Amino acid sequence: MRVLVTGGAGFIGANLCRALTAREEVEKVTVLDDLSTGNLANLDGVEVDFVKGSILEDDLLATLVADAGAVVHLAARPSVPRSLEDPLASHTVNATGTLNLLEACRATKPHVIVASSSSVYGDAQEPHKHEDLPLRPLSPYGASKVATEAYALAYGRSFSLPVLAFRFFNVYGPLQSADHAYAAVVPTFVSMALRGRPVPIYGDGNQARDFTYVGSVAEVLVEAINRMATNTKPVNLAFGTRVTLRHLKDVLSEVLGRPIEVTFLPPRIGDIRESQASPHLLRHLFPTVRPVQLDEGLRATVAWFEQAAVSRPSAHVDLPLPPTNKTFPHM
Ligand SMILES: NC(=O)c1ccc[n+]([C@@H]2O[C@H](COP(=O)([O-])OP(=O)(O)OC[C@H]3O[C@@H](n4cnc5c(N)ncnc54)[C@H](O)[C@@H]3O)[C@@H](O)[C@H]2O)c1
C-alpha cells in the first residue's frame, strides 16, 4: 500500500507517518507539505518521500495522488485565532485546498481520509457532540472545516470516491510545539510549566475539552487505511472524555510532581465552552482501539518537551503573554 499524507510534516501528520512506516503492509509513505506550520525536523528518522509543495498546486497533486492507494488529507491552516486574523487564507487552504485534492482523486479513486474538526459543532448546547447535531461553527476555521468534510462526503456520493471524514477534537502529544502565538493548550501548559512559569487560562478554566492523545489518533487512522473504512457521515475521532482546563493543569501538576501557577486572561472570541465527543460511532467502527489515558499521554508529551529543550529549543513558548488579569498561585 502506498500512502500520501498531506500536511505530513505537521504534528498529527508526522506522528501518523511514524505509525505508518512501522507497518509491513505500507510500502511507501509520501508527504506533501509546504512547511507553513509544519517542520521538517518532525520527520527526522522517518522513512518517507518528502515533497515540499502546496495542496493548491493542481499538477503536483495529480502526480502524487496517481501513485497513492490511500490519501490522508491533514494539510490545513489550523487554529481558530489564525482564522479570525485572516479568514480568506483559512478558506483558501482548508476549503479550496480540499476541493483541489478531491478533484485530483477523481481520476484514480484512492481511499481518502480527511481531517475535520470538533469546531464544526460550534455552540451546539448538547453536552455530547454527536454526528447528527446541526452544525453551528463559531469561527471561519470551523466553517472551513464544514466545507472540508462536506466536500469529501459529497465527492463520495457523487463520484464513488471511498471517503472517510474524521472530526478531530483536541489532539495533543509529542511533536506539538508551543513556539507560536496560536499554540494549543496542552503544549503551552507543558512548555510553561516545565520552565516554572504560570500557565495561561483564557476565561475561568471550567471550559472542557475532549483531549485525545495523538498516538490514539494515529492508531485509528492506520486501522482505517488498512480496512479501507468509509462512512457516509463524519465520524468523531475522540473518546468522550470531559477534562476542564483546571483539571488538565492538576493532572499535569501530578505528572510533574510540583505545583503549577495559573495566569487568568480574558476569554477568547470563538472559544467553545464544552467540547466533548459522543464516541459511539467511532467505537462501533473501530471497536478494538483503546485510548491512551490523559496522565500517560501527558507523561509522553512532557518527555518529548524535555528532549526537545535540548534538540529543538524553539518548540517551547517564547512569546510574551498578553496583559494579565490576575495570577492565582497553585490553583
Ligand atoms: N491538532 C488538533 O487538535 C486538531 C483538531 C481538529 C482538527 N485538526 C486538523 O488536523 C489536521 C492536522 O493538524 P495539526 O494539528 O497536525 O496541524 P499542523 O499545523 O501541525 O499540520 C498541518 C500541516 O499542513 C501543512 N500545510 C498547511 N498548508 C498547506 C498547504 N497549502 N499545502 C501543503 N501543506 C500545507 C503545514 O505545513 C503543516 O505541516 C488539520 O487539518 C487540522 O485542521 C487538528
> Which of the pair, 331 or 173, is modelled with greater confidence?
173
Q: What percent of the chain is predicted at pLDDT more than 90?
A: 85
Ligand 1 binding pocket includes 248 (Cβ within 6 Å): no
Q: What separation in Å is there between the alpha carbon of 53 and the centre of ligand 1?
A: 14
Please state the domain extents for the chain: 2-171+211-237, 173-209+240-328
57-71, 127-141, 224-238, 268-282: segment of lowest average pLDDT: 268-282
- Residue 46 Cα to ligand 1 midpoint, Å, equals 18
- Atom 42 of ligand 1, residue of closest alpha carbon: 78
Those residues with Cβ within 8 angstroms of residue 180's Cβ, 6 or more apart along the chain or in another chain? 37, 319
Q: What integer pLDDT is reported at residue 139 of this predicted model?
A: 92
Distance CA 31, CA 2 (A): 11
54 Cβ below 6 A of ligand 1:
yes
**pLDDT score of 183:** 82
Look up 121 and say whether it is catalytic: no
Using the predicted structure, report yes or no on whether residue 330 has a pLDDT greater than 60: no
Buried b (16+ CB within 10 A) or exposed e, 52-66: ebbbebeebbbebbe
Whole-number average pLDDT of the chain:
92
For residue range 184-212, what is the model confidence (pLDDT) as tens digits?
A: 999 999 999 999 999 999 999 999 999 99
Task: Please compute the mean of the pLDDT values over residues 297-312 and round it to a whole number.
Answer: 87
Q: Which of 6, 74, 210, 220 to mutate to test the pocket of ligand 1 (most atoms within 8 A of CB)?
A: 74
Measured in Å, residue 11 CA sits from the centre of ligand 1 at 7
H/E/C letters for each residue in the chain?
A: CEEEEECCCCHHHHHHHHHHHCCCCCCEEEEEECCCCCCHHHHCCCCCEEEECCCCCHHHHHHHHHCCCEEEECCCCCCHHHHHHCHHHHHHHHHHHHHHHHHHHCCCCCEEEEEEEHHHCCCCCCCCECCCCCCCCCCHHHHHHHHHHHHHHHHHHHHCCCEEEEEECEEECCCCCCCCCCCCHHHHHHHHHHCCCCEEEECCCCCEECEEEHHHHHHHHHHHHHHCCCCCCCEEECCCCCEEHHHHHHHHHHHHCCCCCEEEECCCCCCCCEECECCHHHHHHCCCCCCCCHHHHHHHHHHHHHHHHHHCHHHCCCCCCCCCCEEECCC
pLDDT score of 79: 86
**Cα separation, 120 vs 248, whole angstroms:** 23
What's the whole-number mean pLDDT along residues 94-98? 98
From the candidates 141, 155, 172, 213, which is the catalytic residue? 141
* Superfamily the domain 2-171+211-237 falls into: NAD(P)-binding Rossmann-like Domain (3.40.50.720)
Residue 269 in grid coordinates: 472570541
Asked whether the predicted pLDDT for residue 123 surpasses 70, the reply is yes
**pLDDT at site 192:** 95
Of 307 and 96, the one with more pLDDT: 96
245-295 confidence digits (pLDDT tens): 999 999 999 999 999 999 999 998 767 788 899 999 999 999 999 999 999
C-beta 75 within 6 A of ligand 1: yes
- Write out pLDDT tens, residues 151-175: 999 999 999 999 999 999 999 999 9
Give the per-residue pLDDT at 197: 95
Which amino acid residue places its CA nearest to atom 32 of ligand 1? 54
pLDDT at position 125 is 81
Query: Residue 32: pLDDT band by 50, 70, 90 thresholds?
Result: very high
Residue 329 has pLDDT above 80, yes or no: no
48/8 Cα distance (integer angstroms): 9
Residue 325: its pLDDT value, please?
Answer: 35
Atom of ligand 1 nearest to the CA of 9: 39
Q: pTM for the complete prediction? A: 0.94
Nearest CA to ligand 1 atom 34: 33
CA dihedral angle for residue 276, residue 297, residue 32, residue 99, rounded to 10 degrees: 0
Q: Which of 17, 36, 177 to mutate to test the pocket of ligand 1 (most atoms within 8 A of CB)?
A: 36
Assign 119 a pLDDT band (cuts: 50, 70, 90).
Answer: very high
Q: Is the CB of 38 under 6 A from ligand 1?
A: yes
Q: What is the greatest pairwise CA distance in the chain?
A: 59
Query: Is a pLDDT exceeding 70 seen at residue 326?
Result: no
CATH topology of domain 173-209+240-328: UDP-galactose 4-epimerase; domain 1 (3.90.25)
The pLDDT of residue 47 is 97
